């Protein structure tokens, strides 16, 4: 085998070893997926955040779309905040007759699910699944 060919093979082996070594899961992060239901129905739109209780890692969050979410978060116990807005009215953007109309939104969930959350989840390395079934009253 020529030295050029041997060098190419060695390069491929090194690259493959590096790729395999890097493809493992980060032991400090977990991917959480799940369903958010509000009063028995999937939340149409919203947001979810996982904030580590140790205060040493940043919060991680994502969108809720058709009830489903996926978030990559740091491992360990986290507080979970969920927001699901609802339309409560409309208003003009400007005080003119041809002004565009904007929806007025309000949080549909009680504070114990967001601003004063009582929700927690212990994020494990790798894949996690956590569903939330919440009530507005």
CATH number of residue 104's parent domain: 2.60.40.1120
Residue 18, domain member (yes or no): no
Nearest 5°: phi and psi at 19? -65, -40
pTM confidence score: 0.76
Q: How many angstroms separate the Cα of 28 from the Cα of each of 7, 21, 121, 124, 131?
A: 36, 16, 15, 8, 22
- Total domains in the chain come to 1
Residue 39, domain member (yes or no): yes
Residue 35, domain member (yes or no): yes
Average pLDDT along the chain: 86
- Distance between CA atoms of 33 and 71, rounded to whole angstroms? 7
Kindly report, residue by residue over 43-67, the tens digit of the pLDDT.
999 999 999 999 899 999 999 999 9
Kindly report, residue by residue over 76-93, the tens digit of the pLDDT.
999 999 999 999 999 999
- Distance between CA atoms of 121 and 130, rounded to whole angstroms? 8
* pLDDT above 50 for 8: no
Span 20-37, average pLDDT: 79
Residue 19, domain member (yes or no): no
């Amino acid at each position: 085998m020529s030295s050029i060919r041997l060098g190419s093979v060695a390069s491929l082996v090194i690259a493959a070893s590096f790729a395999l070594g890097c493809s493992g899961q980060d032991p400090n992060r977990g991917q959480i997926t799940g369903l958010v239901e509000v009063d028995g129905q999937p939340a149409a739109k919203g947001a979810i955040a996982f904030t580590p209780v140790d205060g040493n890692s940043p919060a991680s969050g994502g969108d809720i779309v058709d009830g489903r979410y996926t978030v990559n978060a740091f491992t360990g116990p986290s507080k979970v905040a969920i927001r699901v807005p609802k339309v409560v009215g409309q208003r003009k953007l400007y005080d003119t007759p041809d002004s565009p109309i904007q929806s007025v939104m309000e949080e549909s969930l009680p504070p114990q699910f967001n601003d004063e959350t009582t929700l927690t989840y212990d994020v494990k390395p790798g894949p996690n699944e956590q569903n939330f079934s919440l009530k507005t009253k």
